[in-house]
Amino acid sequence: MARSGLALVAALVLAGLSPVAGAATGDEEWAVCDRIVSAHPNPPEGAVVVAPVDNAVRRATAEHQGGTTFWLAPGTHTLGEHEFGQVIPKDGNVYLGAPGAILDGRERNRYAFTGDAHDVVLLGLTVRNFVAPRDEGVVNHDSGDAWVIEHNTIENNGGAALMAGTGQVVRGNCLRDNGQYGINAYKRGGLADLLVEGNEITGNNTENWEAQTPGCGCTGGVKFWAVDGADIRDNWVHDNRGAGLWADTNNNDFLIEHNLIENNDGEALLYETSYNAVIRDNVFLGNTIVQGRTFADRGDDFPVGTVYVSESGGEPRVPARTDRIEIHDNTFEHNWSGITLWENADRFCNSPANTSTGHCTLLVAEVETCTQPAIAQQPLRDDCRWKTQRVDIHHNRFLFDPATLGCDKLCGRMAILSNWGTYPWWSPYMGPVVQQAITFEQHNTWRDNVYVGPWTFTPFDRPRALPPAEWQGAPYGQDVCSAFTLLPTTC
């Protein structure tokens, strides 16, 4: 252990903590990839045996009725030469992989499993080398409902390893080295009740889409869009290019717990223009360093955060298991900064600055109503913008050593801020309106946390970098009863 690491351990002991154990890459507790063992070495009674012959899976699916179980024998299964060679399941079909059963797109076929069938099961398969385009997926391409995708390896594909539908279960899979995402949880009209549990999601966005299309917002481990109810637990999300987990636009009712999220280039977790979430008992380790250094090297002082809450908050009018965003009992170690709460004063329904083009908050039925003169009056003045509000950050451990990151500035910050409203001309949020609201009026709170390292705090706008005493003092009054290294607690 380096000298800086020894210093950190000493500080942890003084703070009454112990270093995070078992969080290193390759930990057997978390690894899924290369450890999946088929549960079906022999075909179950009544199953249709599919030999590893070109197009055999497609033909067998077409010839049998829904509810049939198919057992793919050991070997490489292929889907012909045409780019649209694909399996189109029927309702209730089950596809079981024998040990060594591989469905290979050979970089010719776009998709593996498509169609709108429901209650489809995929278990124990390796799906590789399909070439889905950007924003599309290889497995469950059309977001069929109630699919169970369990103990599969889905790797080295274009686009996303898989899409999602309502009631989908994604459990115990290896989702690695795909061109865009491990999971693209998007369905036209939205989806609900998604479970993502016990997966290893690693190395995704190999095609580096953000570099190809700057500002696309289309990279990382998992992307969620308009998902109402999701449990994301016990996953190892690591070494993705871009964000680890990204909930973008009108997601609601998320429970994100017991995950190890580490070494992602971008944010570990980005919760954007969304509502009501519980984020608890996770370990965030070594995230956001690539993105943070990129900002710092170009002289951009925006407080990049490992958990980035952007225009998102608790909203009692949107039904969920909580009416807040609760971030508690997590461990943050050696990330580029901690938690940033941000609200863009110029981003609201019907604004040209709204990058969720054509979408509005869940509190407004029609985006067209959010314009002058109506937007200047209540309730639209409140309801036309996504608010970073009712965020409660407590009982977390924030551990940071700048020597470990090779960083001497901009890399150990907490932030709650907005920009000065300037755009468009008819905006009712001009000037410091949103800066004042997010910092002082929208019930955003840090409390009862433990800090190890030289943390600074950025409230209201970018240039401020406050020490703990000023952060805790008037007018901010944050981190009541929190403990800072070698400083007495206030309680």
Query: Do residues 390 and 326 touch, judged by C-beta distance below 8 A?
Result: no
Written as one letter, the residue type at 60 is: A
HSE, CB side, 13 Å, CA atoms: give it for residue 438.
30
Query: Do residues 9 and 19 touch, judged by C-beta distance below 8 A?
Result: yes
Q: If residue 399 lies in a helix (H) or strand (E), which one and from where to where?
A: strand 397-399
Count of CB atoms within 10 A of residue 293's CB?
Answer: 18
**Is 233 part of a structural domain of the chain?**
yes
Domains in the chain: how many in total? 1
**Is 390 part of a structural domain of the chain?**
yes
Query: Do residues 190 and 226 touch, judged by C-beta distance below 8 A?
Result: yes
* Two structure tokens written together for 129: 């080398």
In the chain, what is the straight-line distance between the N-terminal and C-terminal CA atoms, in Å?
Answer: 34
**Is 60 part of a structural domain of the chain?**
no
What's the distance, CA 5 to chain centroid? 29
Q: If residue 435 lies in a helix (H) or strand (E), which one and from where to where?
A: helix 433-436
Strand partners, 101: 75
Query: Do residues 209 and 231 touch, judged by C-beta distance below 8 A?
Result: no
Q: Is the dihedral of CA 424, 357, 241, 389 positive or negative?
A: positive
**Is 406 part of a structural domain of the chain?**
yes
**Is 84 part of a structural domain of the chain?**
no
Going from the C-alpha of 301 to that of each of 307, 410, 469, 476, the distances in angstroms are 17, 7, 22, 21
Separation CA 261–CA 267 (nearest Å): 10
Separation CA 368–CA 349 (nearest Å): 8
Query: What range does the domain containing 361 cover?
Result: 3-43+71-77+91-484
**Is 57 part of a structural domain of the chain?**
no
Three-state DSSP at 14 gives helix
**Is 149 part of a structural domain of the chain?**
yes
Separation CA 356–CA 365 (nearest Å): 16
What's the distance, CA 55 to chain centroid? 36
Count of CB atoms within 10 A of residue 29's CB?
Answer: 9
DSSP letter for 317, please: T
Which residues in the chain come in under a pLDDT of 70? Answer: 1-27, 486-490
Q: If you search the block for the tokens 């929190």, which residue do you land on?
A: 482
Written as one letter, the residue type at 41 is: P
Q: Is the dihedral of CA 291, 293, 295, 297 positive or negative?
A: negative
Cβ-Cβ contacts under 8 Å for 32 (sequence gap 6 or more): 172, 173, 174, 198, 199, 200, 236
For the chain, the maximum distance between any two Cα atoms, rounded to a whole number of angstroms, is 73
**Is 108 part of a structural domain of the chain?**
yes
Going from the C-alpha of 396 to that of each of 41, 103, 309, 473, the distances in angstroms are 45, 43, 16, 20
